[in-house]
Amino acid sequence: MKKLVICLAVLGSIFTGCSSDNNNGDTPAKTPVTGEISSNITANKTYAYGNYTLKGMIKVSSGVTLTFEPGCTITCDKSTGENGLIVLNGGKLIANGTADSPIVFTEKSKIGGSWAGIIMYGDAPIVNSATAPAPQTAVSEDGLNLTYGGSNAAHNGGSLKYVRVEYAGQVITTNSKENNGFSFYSVGTGTVLDHLVSYKGNDDGFEFYGGTVSLTNAISYGNSDDSFDWQDGWRGQDNTNWYAYQVGVANYGIEVESKSVDNAFWPKVTNITLRRAAGTTTEAQSEIQLDAIQFKKEGNGDYSNIVIDGFISQTTPTPYNGGAIQILDKATYDHQVAAGKIKLNNVKITNTPITFISGVPTAFTVTAASFVPASNWTVSTTATGATLTGGAWATVDGVNLLAKL
């Protein structure tokens, strides 16, 4: 009997050891699923980790939540027509990737302007008129002609973390049907926008149309118009770690406007890096003045810890003038700069010979002394700009997007 017990014990240890050696405690690798997204999302839907084809201008209905698991890749094909993902007011998009398993929206041809990108609507406040009563509304410029605006500052459109949009910025008719990498219409503070990348689109990387939402840890890389842009009185307060790298074709690093409304509020952004590669050309021959930050039509804001590099004038291949800070019009100079509503502090400027650019008419000249109070303009040699950690979320086709940071 003793011999039998000993034998069973030995056999048990042998099989237990074999099991441990074979598994090594690892979780079996998940196999990506495949599928197609070709109809509007009218009921709550979760797409498991996998590869999906997006066909059409897909809308997420009000009251509905669309979820993508980490690692999903969603691919459009411009040959099938207009494509985009639209989150209507009241709908939610939950796309929470990770640094190593981002959620990627891309296009088959890898040509900028091939699809409409991600468009989100809300009912947070906008201001586009100095005389109209609140709440104000407007009609979108994305060709959908949808109304945005309202009084719900806490609007919640979902959560986007570690999401990359590639080759978007579809422009059909200039000024009447334009899209960006990410377009946020009246999106509110209940929405999370964190670790997002807009890569090589044909228009702006990120654009805000009013609203109260904030954007953290963002990369705008190789977009053909402005890296970051807003209007309609956008007032996000918790923005930080913005990095723009302009290469190939580009306009402004940041374009700030407010529809000619002298607002009593402004957005706040900390830790900004704006870099332009040598030889970058303009989007259009009519653009002869391209700078790191442009303020126009009463645009304002509080910005700090800024690095500006590479915004130089050039004669070839496309002539243009470059500089750090442009104030385009006298109303913006009088009401925003001289009235203390533009704050630029801890600014480090390199490889950018011209600091201030005065716009039109020439009835004003911007200097450091123009900023009131004087503490609204301070320079530094130790500003660090954006601080971002790399990973798959910031890597495209083997290229580390943070290499120039």
Q: What is the DSSP secondary-structure string of 365-396?
A: ---GGGSSSGGGEEE-S---------SGGGEE
Predicted model pTM: 0.92
Separation of alpha carbons 66 and 15, rounded Å: 46
Is 11 among the domain residues?
no
How would you classify the pairing of strands 177-178 and 118-121? unpaired
- Sign, Cα dihedral of 320, 324, 328, 329: negative
Query: Is 255:226 a contact under the CB 8 Å cutoff?
Result: yes
Looking at residue 25, its pLDDT comes to 54
Q: What SS3 class is residue 116?
A: coil
Q: What SS3 class is residue 299?
A: coil
Range of the domain at 50: 34-400
Q: Could you report the average pLDDT of every consecutive run of 10 residues in the chain (405 residues)?
A: 39 37 59 97 98 98 98 97 97 98 98 97 97 97 96 98 97 76 98 99 97 99 97 98 96 97 98 95 74 97 98 83 94 97 98 91 89 98 98 97 97
The number of domains in the chain is: 1
Is 379 among the domain residues?
yes
Looking at residue 12, its pLDDT comes to 42
Separation of alpha carbons 46 and 210, rounded Å: 29
Q: Could you tell me which residues come within 8 angstroms of residue 70 by beta carbon, excluding any fewer than 6 positions away? A: 49, 96, 97, 98, 101, 102, 103, 162
Query: Is 121:185 a contact under the CB 8 Å cutoff?
Result: yes
Residue 398 to residues 10, 20, 57, 332, 392: CA-CA distances in angstroms? 51, 36, 30, 43, 9
Is 342 among the domain residues?
yes
Is 270 among the domain residues?
yes
The vertex-189 CA angle with 185 and 193, nearest 5°, equals 75
Structural tokens at position 102: 């981002």
Looking at residue 301, its pLDDT comes to 98
Structural tokens at position 94: 């939950």
Is 9 among the domain residues?
no
Query: Is 164:117 a contact under the CB 8 Å cutoff?
Result: no
Is 367 among the domain residues?
yes
Which residue in 87, 273, 322 sits closest to 185, CA to CA? 87
The vertex-241 CA angle with 278 and 231, nearest 5°, equals 85
Give the H/E segment covering residue 229: strand 228-231
Is 24 among the domain residues?
no
Is 142 among the domain residues?
yes
Separation of alpha carbons 295 and 288, rounded Å: 16
